[in-house]
């Protein structure tokens, strides 16, 4: 039987790459539900192409427009709206596999719902895990879901580990997450005040959504990935190392107890980890180009410097802080990045807002707190971060 897919965030970069891979294997995948926030043209085009049973838009006016266009085109797609619709679709009985490709903490409720409903959950939406932490992993466990990492680094680690998870603890000494260093790897830190959103979004190796592109430029993306790895692979903060590898060919590495190092390599193309998530434990064609070793040149490595990438180091601070600290950090960063993209604050203010929010808001969250409590902490943290945004506004 074909896998029935729900793609949350199908209009985004990871979402559309997911559909690209699925389109190569019509015998394996059927698209049941597609969702987007407000870009009607994109979601309508996807509805025409895939004829899903459901489509959902976060913004009600966008949903109304999509509904009218779908009807006019004679499609049978039912158009839903709002955040509740995402939860409903992610846990729908006629869905086998959910791709979580929403950006930000907004993806937490539907991803948690998919986990609880025991779906095969392909997780690109790292913020959901950074906010959800222990509770997210508990939902996966309780629901009997299969959690498959899509972030390229975490997919790499996952591919280097045995399928039998009970062997992970015994086998792993530590992991090495590679980072490209983003567009400002060689910039003088003092010149970063004048950086524009366009410069920050011009990533040297990957084409991605705007939020993750800014995160790559500050290396907050890697900070979120350190936290993500802590939960996905049940590691201590000390077991996670970050190394800058500008070519983005080695996607990450596992250092085993015996000091044998396993790495996963490939061209930088998100369709590889997506295809692996879709087909695990099998392998299918992804559409990615072959890696040509003879034209590669050198693979180089360097340490991430605190002067240039201070945000990265907040990951370990948050992981060692009280439960909920990683949710505070994520919320602050989402607000700071939005303010930067909106040209309200300078690029270097992002780190200051993140650090100030993390320092000033000490969460007291129960380890088993429900998702509502996490969302409330997220809301409070955003409010706090916005006071710092105001103070730094130019
Ligand atoms: P994107 O901005 O291109 O797409 C985001 C998607 O989420 C869109 O479909 C948008 O409509 C939807 N969305 C936005 N806000 C929403 C909200 N409030 N409620 C519901 N839906 C909403 O982002 P992207 O680059 O595809 O990244 C998606 C996620 O995957 C992020 O968490 C990112 O960190 C992660 N990721 C992306 C890449 C990449 O190569 N793009 C790589 C690794 C991980
Ligand atoms: Mg990544």
Does residue 206 surpass a pLDDT of 90?
Answer: no
Helix (H, G, I), strand (E, B) or coil at 255: strand
- Binding-site members for 1-deoxy-D-xylulose 5-phosphate are 126, 152-153, 180, 203, 216, 221-222, 225
Atom of ligand 1 nearest to the CA of 15: 26
Q: Which of 18, 101, 108, 274 to mutate to test the pocket of ligand 1 (most atoms within 8 A of CB)?
A: 101
Q: Which residues line the annotated binding site for Mn(2+)?
A: 151, 153, 225
9 neighbors 15 (Cβ within 8 angstroms):
yes
Beta strands in the chain (DSSP E): 3-8, 29-36, 54-57, 78-81, 97-100, 120-123, 146-149, 172-179, 240-244, 250-256, 261-265
Please give the distance, rounded to the nearest whole angstrom, from the Cα atom of residue 280 to the centre of ligand 2. 19
State the average pLDDT over residues 193-213: 91
Residue pair 155/264 in contact by the 8 Å Cβ criterion: yes
Tell me the ligand closest to 38's alpha carbon.
Answer: 1
CA distance 17 to 274: 8
Q: Which pLDDT band, with edges at 50, 70 and 90, does 86 fall under?
A: very high
Q: Residue 368 above 90 pLDDT? A: no
Residue nearest to atom 16 of ligand 1 (CA): 37
The mean pLDDT of 312-338, rounded to a whole number, is: 98
Share of the chain above pLDDT 70, in %: 100
Q: Which ligand is nearest to the CA of 126?
A: 1
3-state helix, strand, coil in the chain (%, to 5): 50, 15, 35
Closest among 94, 60, 96, 99 to 80, alpha carbons compared? 60
Length of the chain: 394
Determine the average pLDDT of the residues in 121-126. 98
Using the predicted structure, report yes or no on whether residue 332 has a pLDDT greater than 90: yes
ipTM surpasses cut 0.90: yes
Query: Given a cut of 90, is residue 203 above it in pLDDT?
Result: no
**pLDDT score at 298:** 94
Kindly give the number of the ligand 1 atom that is closest to the alpha carbon of 39: 11
State residue 82's pLDDT score.
97
């Amino acid at each position: 039987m074909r896998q029935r897919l729900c793609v949350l965030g199908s209009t985004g970069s990871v979402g559309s790459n997911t559909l690209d891979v699925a389109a190569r294997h019509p015998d394996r995948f059927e698209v049941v539900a597609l969702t987007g926030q407000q870009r009607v043209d994109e979601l309508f085009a996807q509805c025409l192409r895939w004829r899903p049973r459901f489509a959902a838009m976060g913004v009600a006016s966008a949903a109304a427009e999509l509904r009218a266009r779908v009807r006019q085109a004679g499609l049978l797609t039912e158009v839903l709206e709002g955040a509740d619709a995402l939860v409903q679709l992610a846990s729908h009985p006629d869905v086998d596999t959910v791709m979580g490709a929403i950006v930000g903490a907004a993806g937490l409720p539907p991803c948690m719902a998919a986990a609880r409903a025991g779906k095969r959950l392909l997780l690109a939406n790292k913020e959901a895990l950074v906010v959800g932490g222990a509770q997210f992993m508990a939902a996966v466990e309780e629901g009997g879901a299969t959690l498959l990492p899509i972030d390229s680094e975490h997919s790499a680690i996952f591919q280097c580990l045995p399928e039998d998870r009970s062997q992970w603890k015994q086998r792993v000494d530590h992991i090495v997450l590679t980072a490209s260093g983003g567009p400002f790897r060689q910039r003088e830190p003092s010149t970063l005040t004048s950086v524009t959103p366009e410069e920050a979004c011009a990533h040297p190796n990957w084409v991605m959504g705007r939020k993750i592109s800014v995160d790559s430029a500050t290396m907050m993306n890697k900070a979120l990935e350190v936290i993500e790895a802590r939960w996905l692979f049940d590691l201590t903060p000390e077991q996670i190392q970050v190394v800058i590898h500008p070519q983005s060919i080695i996607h990450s590495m596992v250092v085993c107890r015996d000091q044998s190092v396993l790495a996963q390599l490939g061209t930088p193309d998100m369709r590889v980890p997506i295809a692996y998530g879709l087909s695990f434990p099998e392998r299918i064609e992804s559409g990615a180009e072959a890696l040509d070793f003879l034209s590669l040149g050198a693979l180089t490595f360097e340490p991430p410097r605190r002067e240039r990438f201070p945000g990265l180091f907040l990951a370990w601070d948050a992981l060692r802080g009280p439960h909920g600290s990683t949710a505070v950090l994520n919320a602050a960063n989402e607000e700071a990045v939005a303010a930067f993209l909106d040209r309200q604050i300078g690029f270097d203010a992002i780190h200051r807002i993140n650090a100030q929010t993390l320092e000033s808001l000490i969460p007291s969250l129960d380890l088993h707190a429900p998702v509502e409590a996490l969302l409330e902490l997220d809301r409070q943290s955003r409010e706090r971060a916005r006071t710092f945004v105001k103070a730094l506004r130019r």
